[in-house]
Structures are given as C-alpha cells and as structure tokens.
Amino acid sequence: MNANQVTEQLTEAGRQIEHNSFAIVDQEAGAHNYGPSQWQVVRRMIHASADFEFNGLTRFSNDAVEAGVKAILAGASVIADVEMITVGLSKPRLAHFGVKTYQFISDQDVIDQAKAENSTRAVQAMRKAHRLGLLEGAIVGIGNAPTALIEVLKLIEAGARPALLVGMPVGFVQAAESKIRAGAQSRVPYIITEGRKGGSTLVVSSLHALLALAEAQE
C-alpha cells in the first residue's frame, strides 16, 4: 500500500473536496502567527469545526509538533479521556504507525473508585492509565473533561512524562482554567486551546494532522 493511501482520501473526488476545503480555510483565515507545521494542525481544527477563532485560540509549546510527530513515528500510544476520541481516530492511520489507543472512562473499576472518592470518572481514568504505565511517552488527548486535564497535570508534576499533551477540554467549569494551567507548565510539550472552546473533534483533528506530518517524514 502506498503510504499516501494511509493518511489521505482514497478517491479522487474525496481528495479534491479535501484540497478545496483546505484552500478555503487558508484563504479565509488570512494572516496568522503559526509556523508551517503548527498551521497544519490549526487548519485541520478549523476544517473540522468551521470555527476560524482557532486561528489565535490554539497555543503550542515550542517543540509540541515535533514531539508529537516523533512519538507517532515511534509508535507511541494515545491515551484519551473519552471514547469519542478513540473512535474518531482513523484505524488505518493508527495501524500504519503501530499506534494503540486507550480510554478507561467507562471501566467498572474507574466508576467504582470515582464513587468511593466522590471524584470524577475522568480523574480515575487518568489515574488508571498512570498505574498501568501508559502515560509514559504517550500522547494524551483530552477533549471533554477538564478534571482529566487537571489530573494529568498533577501526575506530570509528580513525575509522569507523556510525550505530548493535547489539552482541549470544552465547557464552563474549569475548562479555561485547566488549559491556563497546562500552558503554564514546561515539563511536557503541549497543544491547547484557550478559553472555553474545545472538544473531542478538535483533539481528533489535531492528531490526524500530526499523523499526516509523521507520514511526510517517513
């Protein structure tokens, strides 16, 4: 199989639609302050959401894209806060790089522990990933639960070292605050969205951009 078939549309019609969509995004977005590889991520986020505010709301640590691409090329795992992210990611793309995905939000032990501690399932899911040793060297994608992002940041402070943190939880309670906290730390590279906006779709589109960039480096 040609490598391009892994991360691009498989029909000429599909490729043309995608090409035209990105051309429209580039034209309407206008000026931006992102580097070329960073823009590949942002334009896919805009493409997925039709929201041009992500041209400006998206923030990267200096080495975030490079860290993400390196992790994908090494076959790093993706740890997600919700199943929506793991379902949204292209299975052929992941398989091409040997990337596995994990999410524990609905596991019974996670639910039981959340009830016992009066915390959230998202918190306990991140703790479970850490106990299993899955956070080390992984890409952590959080698009729904601010408490998951806050917990991962606590684990990072305690010594956990994911390869990349994609922190884009959406919402009104702790969403903006959790991302401010993510952007204030320098231990782990990050891609975040500022403010209340975010969502699993944006995490998926960001990861697909990184997968495409990884393919380009093969």
pLDDT cut 70: percent of the chain above it: 95
Fold (topology level) of 4-217: Rossmann fold (3.40.50)
Instruction: Report domain extents, the chain.
Output: 4-217
What's the pLDDT at 2? 39
pLDDT(133) > 80 = yes
The chain-wide mean pLDDT, for the chain, equals 93
State the CB neighbour count (10 A cutoff) for residue 213: 20
pLDDT digits (tens, 9 = 90+) for 173-200: 999 999 999 999 999 999 999 999 999 9
Mean pLDDT of 50-77: 97
Take residue 68 and report the two structure tokens written for it: 């993400």
Set 47, 96, 130, 208: catalytic member:
47
pLDDT digits (tens, 9 = 90+) for 137-153: 999 999 999 999 999 99
- The residues, any chain, with a CB within 8 Å of residue 216's CB and separated by 6 or more, are none
47 is catalytic: yes
What's the pLDDT at 5? 42
User: Which residue from 160, 170, 92, 89 is spatially nearest to 127, judged by alpha carbons?
Assistant: 160
- The residues, any chain, with a CB within 8 Å of residue 125's CB and separated by 6 or more, are 81, 103, 104, 105, 107, 110, 148
What's the pLDDT at 10? 65
Phi, psi of 187 (to 5 degrees): -80, -35
- Residue 214 and residue 72 in contact, taking contact as beta carbons nearer than 8 Å: yes
